[in-house]
């Protein structure tokens, strides 16, 4: 209903032939909550929980079944694909349902369309069935989010095989954080639906409880779906680390092969680079304990041949050991 008519809410609901649904968007106007307190007798504790938009999904019964207070969490992706977590509150009385949306990101449009069409139980199931229909839309939206993240994880897995990079780690971790967020919502949502199924309050009809069981089963499926996606996300992270580790091992293997080949060559070059040779200034002869190979004929060529043979033998040895596979 419109904001300017909220002061007459008690008179609007006097007609017992109809059920009423008031959808309030935005929680900034304190006059709304003062009117609900004064006109309908809603507890200030309930009104405080509505304005405290960090509540977990829950169910509370007040004033000997005069009304029921419930909380759900509306999860959706904004234009930047960032997860938003908004609170949706319900106050259910005998023929009246008041919903509170934290923001103007409306999630009730499917329910409104069903009301306009008028098919099924949406018009004949009572006001508690209407609350169930809204909660069911919220829960079903979790499936859409999980399907989106499942496709994103599949894309990330393809990127792992094509061209792994550090962005894969960041993207996967962001999805994993989102999965943890929806898991924190899905567990208390399941408990809340279970409380609605088991409640003895006359405000919840037997028909509504029957359909609540279906929403409860959806929550269990969501929790299982979340755990599966978390395992996939963890597997992608582990795979990315393994690919990076294998790439590093390949680089280290190449460097090790090159170093192993050049170590003996460097040894030979180092020995002959010492130039231990000195002539006797009187006779011109080479003194003892010097390197005779320095004056051997074709010594330079023989040294290169020996070094080349050593290098080739090492390459053959490494190849037979499978280092080049």
Q: Which residues pair with 71 in a beta bridge?
A: 58, 89
Strand, helix or coil for residue 88: strand
User: Would 1 be classed as within a structural domain?
Assistant: no
- Between strands 67-77 and 58-62, the pairing is antiparallel
Contacts 24+ apart (CB under 8 A), 299-302: none
Domain boundary among 245, 264, 284: 245
Domain boundary among 210, 245, 280: 245
Q: Assess whether 202 and 55 both reside in one domain.
A: yes
Instruction: Report how far residue 147's alpha carbon sits from residue 286's, in angstroms, rounded to the nearest whole number.
Output: 86
Q: Which residues pair with 123 in a beta bridge?
A: none
Q: Assess whether 224 and 285 both reside in one domain.
A: no
Q: Assess whether 139 and 279 both reside in one domain.
A: no
Instruction: Report how far residue 142's alpha carbon sits from residue 229's, in angstroms, rounded to the nearest whole number.
Output: 13
Q: Assess whether 162 and 29 both reside in one domain.
A: yes
Q: Assess whether 54 and 108 both reside in one domain.
A: yes
- For tokens 């008519």, the residue is 5
Q: Assess whether 18 and 101 both reside in one domain.
A: yes
Return per-residue pLDDT of the chain as tens, 325 residues: 444 557 777 777 777 778 888 888 888 778 888 888 888 888 889 999 998 878 899 999 987 778 999 999 999 988 888 888 999 999 999 888 999 988 777 788 889 888 888 777 888 888 999 999 999 999 999 999 999 999 999 998 888 888 777 788 888 999 999 999 999 999 999 999 999 999 999 999 999 999 999 999 999 999 999 999 999 999 888 888 888 888 888 888 888 888 888 888 888 888 777 766 666 666 666 666 666 666 677 777 888 888 889 888 888 888 887 777 6
- Between strands 83-92 and 67-77, the pairing is antiparallel
Residue 165 makes CB contacts below 8 A (sequence gap 6+) with 159
Q: Residues of 105-121 as b/e, b for ≥16 C-beta within 10 angstroms?
A: eebbeebeebeeeeeee
- 84 and 200 Cβ atoms separated by less than 8 Å: no
Nearest to residue 229, comparing CAs of 137, 138, 141, 154? 154
Q: Assess whether 251 and 276 both reside in one domain.
A: yes
Q: Assess whether 240 and 199 both reside in one domain.
A: yes
Quick one: pLDDT at residue 39? 82
Instruction: Report how far residue 258's alpha carbon sits from residue 77's, in angstroms, rounded to the nearest whole number.
Output: 52
- 97 and 131 Cβ atoms separated by less than 8 Å: yes
Q: Assess whether 98 and 232 both reside in one domain.
A: yes
Rounded to the nearest 10 degrees, how much is the dihedral formed by the CA atoms of 72, 126, 105, 219? 40
Quick one: pLDDT at residue 197? 94
What is the count of structural domains for the chain? 2
Q: Which domain holds residue 316?
A: 246-321
* CATH at 77: 3.30.460.20
């Amino acid at each position: 209903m419109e904001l300017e008519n909220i002061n007459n809410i008690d008179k609007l609901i006097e007609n017992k032939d109809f059920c009423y649904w008031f959808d309030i968007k935005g929680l900034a106007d304190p006059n709304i909550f003062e009117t609900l307190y004064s006109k309908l007798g809603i507890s200030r504790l309930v009104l405080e929980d509505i304005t405290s938009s960090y509540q977990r999904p829950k169910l509370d019964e007040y004033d000997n079944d005069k009304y029921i207070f419930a909380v759900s969490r509306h999860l959706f992706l904004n234009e930047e694909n960032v997860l938003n977590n908004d609170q949706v509150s319900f106050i259910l009385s005998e023929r009246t349902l008041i919903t509170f949306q934290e923001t103007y990101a409306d999630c009730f449009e499917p329910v409104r369309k069903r009301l306009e069409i008028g098919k099924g139980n949406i018009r004949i199931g009572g006001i508690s069935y209407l609350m169930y229909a809204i909660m069911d839309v919220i829960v079903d939206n979790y499936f859409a989010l999980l399907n989106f993240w499942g496709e994103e994880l599949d894309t990330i897995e393809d990127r792992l095989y094509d061209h792994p990079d550090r962005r894969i780690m960041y993207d996967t971790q962001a999805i994993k954080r989102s999965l943890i967020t929806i898991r924190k919502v899905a567990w208390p949502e399941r408990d809340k639906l279970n409380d609605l199924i088991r409640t003895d309050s006359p405000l919840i009809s037997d028909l509504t409880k029957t359909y609540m069981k279906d929403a409860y089963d959806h929550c269990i499926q969501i929790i299982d779906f979340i755990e599966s996606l978390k395992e996939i996300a963890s597997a992608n992270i582990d795979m990315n680390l393994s690919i990076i580790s294998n790439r590093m091992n390949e680089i280290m293997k190449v460097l090790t092969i090159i170093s192993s080949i050049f170590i003996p060559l460097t040894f030979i070059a180092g020995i002959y680079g010492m130039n231990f040779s000195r002539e006797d200034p009187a006779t011109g002869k080479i003194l003892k304990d010097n390197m005779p190979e320095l004056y051997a004929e074709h010594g330079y060529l023989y040294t290169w041949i020996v070094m080349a043979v050593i290098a080739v033998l090492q390459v053959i040895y490494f190849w037979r050991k499978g280092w080049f596979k």
